[in-house]
A and B are shown apart, each in its own frame.
Chain A
């Protein structure tokens, strides 16, 4: 598969400069006319594979497509040795219902890439990080003290990764997990598990209620910033001029009836930040433009040594020709980006509301 082709940025310094300028104006002008928080349209399909515990397919407008299948198997838990001998049963109680990270196996497959290529490995690590961050997820896989569910998440990207595929994969995984069902447990306590073979009686991994909001699997969003402008769901072209790119993972907890109810009574959803990762933007690999001062064709003089050339570039005024971004992200910039995701009426809420709109079979 011509994978390297889609990774390459085929824009000239002039085009990059144009894109950068239009994205830096306020409000930013995006190439496809979206507003800064607007997402591209997508098509979602759920429960497509009867052979899995949960499955989903999402098709983005740029033609990228992903399928996620979740399969669960009952596995014997490793015997856990607690230090309960001296202190009595207190600690054992605490251990009850706790999960281990090894109960979840997550694989990302990207066409044309080997399993041990950096991209699939990195994507899988980021997604499992978000999933396992608070330990809530593995708790759901607990059956009894001797058995647990082993969950296999197979994430397939069907098309070439034209933009950074993380949001696509994360949304698809989210839907698949939301639909994941286990057969109802009939046995009690620590017996060998016995399940109801009536699939209609099966229970959801994430039980839901129609009235109030419920626990949801995490969603990872891609946020980028250009010159202080924060934009969501960047396309491939936009990423090629990004200064900071963050992958922000957000989870939702069910509203508890008491306690902290008072604190965030104004909010409609209880959103929690699970993980943040900076992503190396492809803009760093772009070729810089040649300013007039360095171009012999326009009367400038080319630097004799590469050291001199880079020295001249360092001191060059900003905004003349395209320069790949240098340095890291400022702290307040990252804070602003996260704030934008999490704030009330912010993007995360919008995404969750949008996902609510998907027909969940």
Chain B
């Protein structure tokens, strides 16, 4: 496995000196995100998040399975992450610490906070449920994977439509999209992550790039929804930071979450508009669409 290349001593010194003069290398403010671009695929449940040069593609799929015996009413919701060598050469080989922590953070933010109403996925108790699977592919890694991946999964979950279903006695029929309009998933809230990077004890940066991440002394990821509920905090070791700074981070996180939610809202609306073909025109007609 090729080792991850870190910044050189010169780069490090330059960067830290710049921080002291309150300048970030890419001239952003300390509390600013890079430009966030959110796109949806032609299929339902595919989202493509770009934050600066970081790019994460998420794909949601659903299938009918039997539930786990200890939770007969809950549809399983799994999140898998894949960090391929495409994103960074150091990702080849067995799952790295980055990957395990990313998967765990997504799980804590989305699953443990109950973002997806898993009981709404139940078709027949103990027999048939929809199982939802989110595949997160990191296409390009330039720092802040967690925030990008979290935004990607939530956006994809909101965008996703599962096939409508009908239960007749013991039989379950799932209709294809052509037969019936798909059904959106029931999400209880939309948690998003904001990651803070700490330098020299008091400098706090938001949305660090890869080289900024490599030089940080500690980090803290806060998962929140726009209602001001903290879903998860993870400051897993690293340099100690004053408790007051951490509290102010949670306030800052709320502002960013509100802003990201707004972006997501707008993009979902635009996408819905694009798909909406107009009430009456959407009805099937005998005319051949290909003939002008």
Judged by CB atoms under 8 Å, the answer to whether A and B touch is no
